[in-house]
Amino acid sequence: MPELPEVETVRRGLAPVMEGGTIARAEVNRPDLRWPFPDRMAERLAGQKVTALRRRSKYILADLASGETLLIHLGMSGRMLISGDAQGRFVHDHPAPEKHDHVVLHMADGARITFNDPRRFGAMDLLPTDGAEAHPLLAVLGPEPLGNGFHEEYFVAALKTRTMPAKSALLDQRIVAGLGNIYVCEALFRAGISPKRRVNNLSSARIASLVPIIRDVLGDAIAAGGSSLRDFRQADGELGYFQHNFDVYDREGQPCRRPGCDGIVARVVQSGRSSFYCPRCQR
């Protein structure tokens, strides 16, 4: 499933075409994805100007002039593809419709934005822009790891009394929003913390050190265009390249990349997910 850097990469790819643009017409080609689409979704989107395009955790939020916000979740295989961009920023020609083109937004300037999702684990919803944070999918989320609400004092207070492993704590969306398996593995490696280490046994200084490390890992991934694991694509169809920079993720049995460490990357399963780490230098 795309993680925060991938979703932010898609948002940035969509912004030049959607933000400030008008949805002339919307096609909704099935009644649902992971959940049913909202009533009259095509009618409610038609003619609406997109006043802002933002991200909350792994959700893309398109604020509309109508006072509603279109919430988009990519799921496991969802892609937002741009074609016919009049400004020449993306491929000009509209491709032939595909079987899994479930929602198509026809922009007033001739661009077309297609939500394609073969596995149908994605989602779309319309919600009031005012009070959007109260939506059931958003209300449970912790602070954004790249936002001002995520800082050392908050993180130490949030983790110091918890007995869960470090991997589980960083994946808990109620503690910090948007982190997924890949970038948690990478952040814990850079911090030298074992994914199995219980966070209440970490010093406040070690917990605090994770904050800038998490920001750096996410920043590096966003700058590289996101990871292109499995079905992920950027909005313009190009692949991301951060996977070439993984230090531990999916590197089981390979030498540790930390200078001076002769450890071998190992894999353990925690709550059904693979954790990759170096047993020698991550404690």
Q: What's the pLDDT tens digit per position in 20-65?
A: 999 999 999 999 999 999 999 999 999 999 999 999 999 999 999 9
Instruction: Tell me which of 11, 55, 56, 58 is the catalytic residue.
Output: 58
Please, is 144 exposed, middle or buried when counting C-beta atoms within 10 Å of its C-beta (0-12, 13-18, 19+)?
middle
In the chain, what are the domain boundaries? 4-134, 152-277
The two tokens of residue 213 are 């490390």
Residue with tokens 């449970």: 140
Q: What are phi and psi of 49, to 5 degrees?
A: -85, 135
40 is in an annotated binding site: no
16 catalytic residue (yes or no): no
Which of 144, 143, 148, 190 lies closest to 166 in space, CA to CA? 190
Contact yes or no for 27/103 (Cβ under 8 A): yes
* Across 218-227, average pLDDT: 87
273 catalytic residue (yes or no): yes
- Please report, rounded to a whole number, the percentage of residues in the chain having pLDDT higher than 90: 81
Per the confidence metrics, is the pTM higher than 0.85? Answer: yes
2 catalytic residue (yes or no): yes
Determine the Cα–Cα distance for residues 228 and 240; give it in Å rounded to an integer: 5
Instruction: Tell me which of 198, 273, 279, 280 is the catalytic residue.
Output: 273
Determine the Cα–Cα distance for residues 119 and 227; give it in Å rounded to an integer: 19
Contact yes or no for 261/278 (Cβ under 8 A): yes
Report which secondary-structure segment, H or E, holds 15.
Answer: helix 4-18
Determine the Cα–Cα distance for residues 244 and 261; give it in Å rounded to an integer: 20
Class of domain 4-134: alpha beta
- pLDDT above 70 for 87: no
162 is in an annotated binding site: yes
pLDDT in tens, 164-206: 999 999 999 999 999 999 999 999 999 999 999 999 999 999 9
* pLDDT value for 225: 83
CATH number of 152-277: 1.10.8.50
pLDDT in tens, 117-151: 999 999 999 999 999 999 999 999 999 999 999 99
Contact yes or no for 4/226 (Cβ under 8 A): no
The residue ranges of DSSP E strands in the chain, in sequence order, are 22-28, 48-56, 59-64, 68-73, 79-83, 101-107, 112-116, 123-128, 266-270, 273-277
